[in-house]
Structure 1
Amino acid sequence: MNPEQPTSLSDNQINYQKIVDQIYQTENFDFVGIAIQSQNPPHSIKWSFVAGNSNERFRKIVLRSGIGIAGLVVRTGKPFWDNNLTEYEYTSKMYTPIAKSETLQTAAAVPIIDTLGLVDGVLLAGYHTHTIVSEKTAQKLSQYL
């Protein structure tokens, strides 16, 4: 195999899990996860790589663009942070299944951009306690990508 060939999906998967594990072990976040958008219609978004999870419910979360934190970041391609995730109800457009599932009170998320400049997924990190997140938190996460 030519080492200059693009990495395969399995290599990306290994790299994503390494990124999640590294952030979880290096930083003080309670939960770290990466959600990947499917390349096939309807381009659903699923949490595939996590660390610090308190249960396995994240595996059942399937989002579409614009819904939840991952959906918003995929749709806009911009970082997101919120210091009051518990305020969103199921009927709210900003309802965040991952925050509910993992009892996150605050979180920051950044887009994962592929080589073509398209949003491929989302890197999210959050806290179970009311630990303030900001643009600086999002910038710190971006450095891992």
Structure 2
Amino acid sequence: MVGPADKIAYETLVQTIYQKSNFDFVGIALKSADSLEQIKWRYVRGNITQRYRRIVLRNGLGIAGLVLRTGEPFFDNALNDKSQNLMYTPITVVEKLNSAAAIPIIDPQSRAVTGVLMAGYRNGSPVSHETVAILRYYLRRA
């Protein structure tokens, strides 16, 4: 369950990354309190539509689901190349992202992955291990 202090921290984190970086989109997806199998995008900046609010994923599906399931970072520079990308990524479709990086948000007490921090580009800018490191830096400071 995400408490009021967590909500403020997540909102501030997304806002800070979006303002201090050149990402086109920054978001946090969290497991739903009512169902640990569902993942929803809760905090976003740089969105071009409100459709992200309707995206509900299960563990293992999409970028957020994959990162939640594995607990490992993810990045891809060919998100819209259907011949290269077999993973369905609804957030990248509705937000028209060409590249994105995502890292797990880990609860310090339980060590369980509770969410995903993702940032991406619409303009084709590449993401890499360095992008993952930048996201980790911001998350540690939050």
Residue 10 of structure 1 corresponds to 4
1:84 aligned partner:
78
Q: Which amino acid aligns with 2:102?
A: A
Look up the equivalent residue of 1:17 and give its one-letter code: E
Q: What is the aligned partner in structure 2 of residue 120 from structure 1?
A: 114
Question: Alignment RMSD, CA only?
Answer: 1.6
Greater Cα shift, 38-47 or 79-88: 38-47
Matching of residue 104 in structure 1 with residue 60 in structure 2: no
Q: Distance in 1 between matches of 2:59 and 2:133?
A: 22
Q: Aligned partner of 1:135: which letter?
A: H
Which is higher, the Rg of structure 1 or of structure 2?
1
Q: Which runs of 5+ in 2 are unaligned?
A: none
Correspondence for 2:22: 28
Aligned mates of 1:121, 1:55 — CA distance in 2: 21
Q: Distance in 1 between matches of 2:36 and 2:16?
A: 31
Change (3 A) 1:42 1:114: closer
Q: Tell me how far 1:12 sits from its aligned partner.
A: 0.3
Opposite residue 111 of structure 1, the aligned amino acid is: P
- Amino acid in structure 2 at the alignment position of 1:124: M
Q: CA deviation at 1:144?
A: 1.3
Q: Residues 88-123 of structure 1, C-alpha deviation per residue, up to 9 Å, x if partnerless?
A: 48xx4x110000000000000000000211101000
Secondary structure, counterpart of 2:126 in structure 1: coil
The TM-score, its normalising length taken from structure 1, stands at: 0.89
Deviations 1:28-71 (A, max 9, x none): 00000000012443520000000000010000000001100000
* Identity percentage of aligned residues: 51
Count of residues in correspondence between the two structures: 136
Whether the aligned pair in 2 keeps the contact of 1:99 and 1:105 (CA below 8 Å) is: yes
Q: CA deviation at 1:75?
A: 0.2
Regions of 4+ moved over 6 Å: none
